[in-house]
Amino acid sequence: MTSQKIVDYSTAKEFADEMKINFIETSAKCAINVEQAFLTIVCDIKRNLFENEENSNTGDITHEKRILLNPGSSVNMSVDCDYLFKLLIVGDSRVGKSNLLLRFVEDSYTEYFRLCPVDFRFHTVNVDGKTIKLQIWDTFISLRFGNSLGVLKRSFRGAHGIMMVYDVTDQDTFSNIKRWLQEIETYCIPNACKLLVGNKCDMTSQKIVDYSTAKEFADEMKINFIETSAKCAINVEQAFLTIVCDIKRNLFENEERYNTGDITHDKLILLNPRSFHGTRSTNCCRCC
C-alpha cells in the first residue's frame, strides 16, 4: 500500500537497529518477503542455538539449557567426527559466496539464490584419515551497513577459517578485500586461517583482476590464494580443502604448543570436539 504508507522504512529500520533486532517489511497480500521474514527468524534461532552449543562446550551455559534448545541433541552431534571446524565465507555482494557453498555441499549451482543474512550448512570431509565436520557459514552482509557488522561480528566468533571471496570481473570487490581483512583482524580469533578466493574464473573475456595481481597481494598478506568457478565447478573443492588443511595444520601446531604448555586445555578442546567428549584419554596419542 505504497501510497498510504505512513511508517517509512528508514524510521522502522533505525528503531530496529537501536533495539538490536532484525527488521523486514512484508506484504501478506502480495506475498512479498513473507517467507524471508520466517526464514530470518528461523535462522536467528538456529544461530542462537549453535552459539549456545558452543558456549555449552566452553562451559558458558548448562547442559540442561542446551538440550532444551536442541531436544534431539542429548548426544552431541560433534562426537561422530575427529574435528569440527567453523568456516565463514565473506565478500562483497554477488561475488558468488552462496554458489561456492552450494557447489561444495550439493554440487549444484543457481543463478538466483539468497539465504538469510547469515546461514550455515554442514559438510563432512575426510583428510588424512580424519573425519572433519565443517560448519560453513554463508553471509550476505555489506560492509556499508553498520548494523550488519554486528551480525558479522557474531558470525566471526569462533571461526577457524575465513574464505574471502571477490569476483574476478569486478575490481571493486577485489579492492574491498583489504577492508574484509581489517574486519577479520578485528573480530576473529588470532591465527584464524584465511583464504583469498577469486571466483567466476570461467568468465575469461570479462576478467579484470588478473591472477598475478591477486597472487602478489595474497603473498604480501601471507594468505593462500585460489581462483574458482562455482558455475563450472573449477577448484571449488580444492578451495575448501586448502583452508581445511590449513586449519588442521594450525591445530596440530597448537596441539604441540599445548603439549609444551604454551596453550590452555580449554582452547584445545574447542578445536578438537572428540577429545572433549572423553573418547581420548589424556595420555593417548593424538590420532585417536
| Residues near Mg ion (CB under 5 A) | 97-98, 140
Dist CA 201 CA 192 (whole Å): 26
Partner that binds at residue 230, options Mg ion, ligand GTP, none, CB closer than 5 to 8 Å by kind: ligand GTP
Partner that binds at residue 95, options ligand GTP, Mg ion, none, CB closer than 5 to 8 Å by kind: ligand GTP
**H-type helices in the chain, by residue range?**
9-19, 34-57, 63-69, 97-106, 146-156, 171-175, 177-187, 211-221, 236-259, 265-271, 273-276
Residue 205: count of CB within 10 angstroms of its CB: 5
Residue 12 CB, nearest approach to ligand GTP (Å): 22
Pairing mode of beta strands 193-199, 83-91? unpaired
Residue 108 CB, nearest approach to Mg ion (Å): 14
Cβ closest to ligand GTP, residue 200 vs residue 274: 200
Cβ closest to Mg ion, residue 141 vs residue 251: 141
Partner that binds at residue 99, options ligand GTP, Mg ion, none, CB closer than 5 to 8 Å by kind: ligand GTP
Residue 61 CB, nearest approach to ligand GTP (Å): 31
Residue 41 CB, nearest approach to Mg ion (Å): 19
Dist CA 234 CA 93 (whole Å): 21
Cell, residue 150: 554486528
Which positions lie near ligand GTP, rule CB under 6 A? Answer: 93-99, 111, 113-114, 140, 199-200, 202-203, 229-231
Dist CA 101 CA 91 (whole Å): 13
Cβ closest to ligand GTP, residue 93 vs residue 171: 93
Pairing mode of beta strands 130-139, 118-127? antiparallel
Cβ closest to Mg ion, residue 30 vs residue 112: 112
Cβ closest to ligand GTP, residue 97 vs residue 160: 97
Q: How big is the chain by its Cα radius of gyration, in Å? A: 20
Residue 127 CB, nearest approach to Mg ion (Å): 26
